[in-house]
Amino acid sequence: MVTIPPSGAQDSWLDSNDSESTDFVPLTRTQAQALAAAHPAISPWWVVLGQAVVGVLATLVAWAVFGEVSAKSVASGALAVVIAAALFARGITSQFSKANPGTAVMSFFVWELVKIVVTLGVLLAAHRLVKDLSWPAMLVGLVVTLKVYWLALAFKRKPKAGANS
């Protein structure tokens, strides 16, 4: 087996003895509080609410344009996302998931797995329960509702008044 040595450009930051690259100054309490105030967190419940609103709007548009069958299919896709996201939000905002950093990380992964399984379960249930289900319409409802995550980033909360940037 042959080992290829890294080029000088790739590992130059490892070998540098610059004081600049090794200096790390932790934030003070007031600096950390100012940073947190300047960049407020988005509640996952606002995202779930946004997904529900977008899902209802997509269902109404599908109903008006394509009829009842397509509207039920779009609603099924949107419902798969909203139910799973609500369970995820409930799980990651519980007191147990905030116990310590290790528990928070494990909670995130467990609830993400629950979210995936519930989404697939709702999609399969829709396949069995909705007569004449339109898979393309259901996938449109699913994708449109999933795009709310990007909208949540675009419309994030503004910093509180008096917070330093």
pLDDT of residue 165: 45
**Structural domain includes residue 62:** yes
Task: Quickly tell me which residue has 């995550």 as its tokens.
Answer: 149
**Are 135 and 41 spatial neighbours (Cβ–Cβ below 8 Å)?**
no
Are 18 and 120 spatial neighbours (Cβ–Cβ below 8 Å)? no
The tens digit of pLDDT for each residue in 87-110 reads 999 998 888 777 788 888 898 999
At residue 161, does pLDDT exceed 80?
no
Full-model pTM: 0.73
**pLDDT of 20 above 70:** no
114 occurs within a structural domain: yes
Mean residue pLDDT across the chain: 84
Element (H, E) at 159: none
Lowest mean pLDDT among 32-36, 43-47, 52-56, 158-162: 158-162
Task: Residue count of the chain, please give it.
Answer: 165
> Is residue 15 domain-resident?
no
Q: Which domain holds residue 69?
A: 44-154
Please state, as a whole number, how many other Cβ atoms lie within 10 Å of the Cβ of residue 71. 21
Average pLDDT rounded to a whole number, residues 67-78: 95
Establish if 161 belongs to a structural domain. no
Query: Which range (26-30, 50-54, 109-113) has the least confidence?
Result: 26-30
Query: Quick check: is 5 in a domain?
Result: no
Quick check: 75 pLDDT over 80? Answer: yes
Q: Give a yes or no: residue 3 inside a domain.
A: no
Number of domains composing the chain: 1
